[in-house]
Amino acid sequence: MSQVVLITGASSGIGKASALLLTERGYIVYAGTRTPEKFDTDTKNLHVIQLDITDNKSIQRAVIDIHKEQGRIDVLVNNAGYGLVSTVEDVSEEEMFNQFNVNVFGVFRVCKEVIPLMRENNSGVIINISSFLGKIGLPLLTFYNASKYAVEGITDSLRYELKDFNIRVHSIMPGFFSTNFAKDNLVTNAATFDEASPYAHLVSNLAPNIVEQINKGNDASEAAELMLKIIEDEGALARETVGDKARQFIPMRRELSDEDFERRVREYYRLNE
């Protein structure tokens, strides 16, 4: 029997690459997106569905429909997310809430609806797409960092919570990937990017560097291949890195003291200039 996979944020980038690869490998994939029209495909066993992870009713409808059609959801991939670029001083209440509403509360909402189905089947795999910035802080990305740190905490706790029901929980920590993330999934605060901002030097130094690294990043297919490996390997690690920046910084983060690691990051991103 083919396994049934639900992927959030599947209209582009890692989500879309994973949906296509898993379908190719025989999985029945439900690609959830707020904009189904962006995912134009007639691939067999790939179902593009309307899904807004900030809307409980949208999530409930999607999960009910999948259950009616397939009777199960075997794999959940929490992929939807975006990055807010703002200083803490400049951020608005709405911007703060929206960042966590999508990147953190959205994960909770979808898990809440899918876990009962997995628990009843006494099996399942949940993969949270985090970021190497879920272990590493960077200025201007404080809220994105914090949201991905939260995703890592969710992963750790759910591994304990769901183990007795034979549900595996993992996170993938990508580095920078050459997707539309810089174009479509970075939201900037106007005050932070104002030329008169006291942070103007930091912004002019760091922001173009980050965008360039994203645009020259790894291909989304690498993350999709890792996702397939985790699904099919019952002994997969709790968390895996993928992409050059993640492979570079995460081991360094483990090995160095907080202060030494901070010095390395400041040097690498030219934050002392």
> Is 12:179 a contact under the CB 8 Å cutoff?
yes
Reply yes or no on whether 130 is catalytic: yes
> Is 86:99 a contact under the CB 8 Å cutoff?
no
Reply yes or no on whether 27 is catalytic: no
Q: Of 30, 144, 149, 199, which residue is the catalytic one? A: 144
Q: Of 12, 18, 86, 130, which residue is the catalytic one? A: 130
- Give CA separation, 222 vs 27, 32, 172, 175, 228, in Å: 18, 21, 11, 11, 10
Q: Of 16, 135, 148, 245, which residue is the catalytic one? A: 148
> Measured between alpha carbons, how far is 225 from 218 in angstroms, rounded to an integer?
13
| Closest alpha carbon to 17 in 171, 179, 175, 169 | 179
Reply yes or no on whether 144 is catalytic: yes
| Closest alpha carbon to 270 in 209, 216, 212, 213 | 209
Reply yes or no on whether 11 is catalytic: yes
> Measured between alpha carbons, how far is 96 from 2 in angstroms, rounded to an integer?
40
> Is 147:95 a contact under the CB 8 Å cutoff?
no
Which residues are designated catalytic? 11, 130, 144, 148
